[in-house]
Amino acid sequence: MKSLSLKEIRTKVEALEKEIRLQRSILEVLQEPLFILNRKGYFIKGNPKGMEILGHPPEELQEMAFMDVVPLEDLSRVLEGFEEMEQGKEVRFRTHITSRLRGEIPVEFFGTLRQGVFFIALRDLREKIEVEEEFERTKRVFTKKIQERDLYAKELQMIRDLYKGKLGEIERMKEEAVRLSYTDDLTGIYNHRFFIEQLTLEVERQRRYSTPLSLLMIDIDYFKQYNDTNGHLAGDQVLKAIAILIQRGVRQSDIVARYGGEEFSAILINTGRETALEIAERVRRMVADTRFPNESAQPNKDLTVSLGVATFSSPISNLTDLIREADHALYLAKKNGRNRIEG
């Protein structure tokens, strides 16, 4: 083998020193902790970041193996990593190291075997884990807020539905109150108050549009005698039955009301005198043809009604005149023998 000249030896030494200085510079400027270990896992060298994270002085670290800075619970995973590197694999996994000054530190482990030594890089995960934990906390808070919002929305909707239901119930109660205020308790038809209000409206309409308007006043013949003989319960049943018969005898557009006691009235809308007399006769006949309990004890052996008819015309100029005219016609019907129509 040819011996090298002094100049050649000096050149090689200078190149080797340059390479060592370059490696040392690269090692020192790396921002992540980096270690070089021998095949037995003992520390050969660590960069400043590596020395900082472990907290051991260089002379102490050179007497230690990497397994000395691994917590017991993570030891098996790190050993597996070294076995994989021995097989030529590059490994990467999360684990912990034990710092002399800071206790356990979560790290990401990067390792490979090159030229008979292990190169181990560590990434400090404390900040990342804090960010992840903060993210998870924020996520939990956000999720809770969403759940609270959804719960609030559901409760609000329930309150709205309840409020809507209550409003509907109130409206129904109002409608029922209005209906009851206009309804006769016994017969279920309109009462005297509603009769006056509707007749007032129809009279005003007649004045404005000159439409025909008629009124029936209906009285049960000898009702007091029937009541006294058969009792008030039987009399009430007769009142209910005759209210139904009157409603059947008039048209759907007409308004039937209990005027008071045994007296009824019917507003015949858009109806002239001839049609009003026809309707009155139909009502009279329906009542006369109906069989009532114990009606044979009545003075005329039958339970009947008398009717007075009045039609709005030039002599009858207002509501009072119309009612007075129908009342007078009813008086004549009763005076002239009952179970008849006058008007």
Q: Using alpha carbons, select from 251, 245, 180, 215 the residue that is nearest to residue 325.
A: 215
What tens digit of pLDDT does each residue of 192-205 get? 999 999 999 999 99
Residue 312 phi, psi (nearest 5): -65, 125
CB 199 within 8 A of CB 319: yes
Taking 90 as the threshold, does the pLDDT of residue 27 lie above it? no
Rounded CA-CA distance 294/111 in Å is 116
The verdict on domain 31-124 having CATH code 3.30.450.20 is yes
* 238-253 pLDDT per residue, tens: 999 999 999 999 999 9
User: Computed from CA positions of residues 160, 161, 167, 171, in that sequence, does the dihedral angle turn out positive or negative?
Assistant: positive
The average confidence (pLDDT) of the chain is 87
* Residue 25 pLDDT exceeds 80: no
The helix (H) or strand (E) run that includes residue 98 is strand 91-99
**pLDDT beyond 70 at 2:** no
CATH class of 192-342: alpha beta
Cβ pair 314, 206 in contact under 8 A:
no
Q: Which of 41-50, 136-145, 323-332 has the highest mean pLDDT?
A: 323-332
Q: pLDDT tens digit string along 46-84?
A: 999 999 999 999 889 889 999 999 999 999 999 999 999
Assigned token pair, 249: 């005898």
DSSP state of 190: B
Sheet architecture: strand order including 103-114: 43-46, 34-37, 117-124, 103-114, 91-99
Q: How far apart are CA 259 and CA 247, in angstroms?
A: 14
- Specify whether 262 is catalytic: yes
pTM, to two decimals: 0.54
Q: How far apart are the first and last CA of the chain?
A: 157
- Residue 256 in tokens: 């039937």
Which element (helix H / strand E) includes 76?
Answer: helix 75-86
- Catalytic residue, chosen from 202, 262, 325, 342, is 262
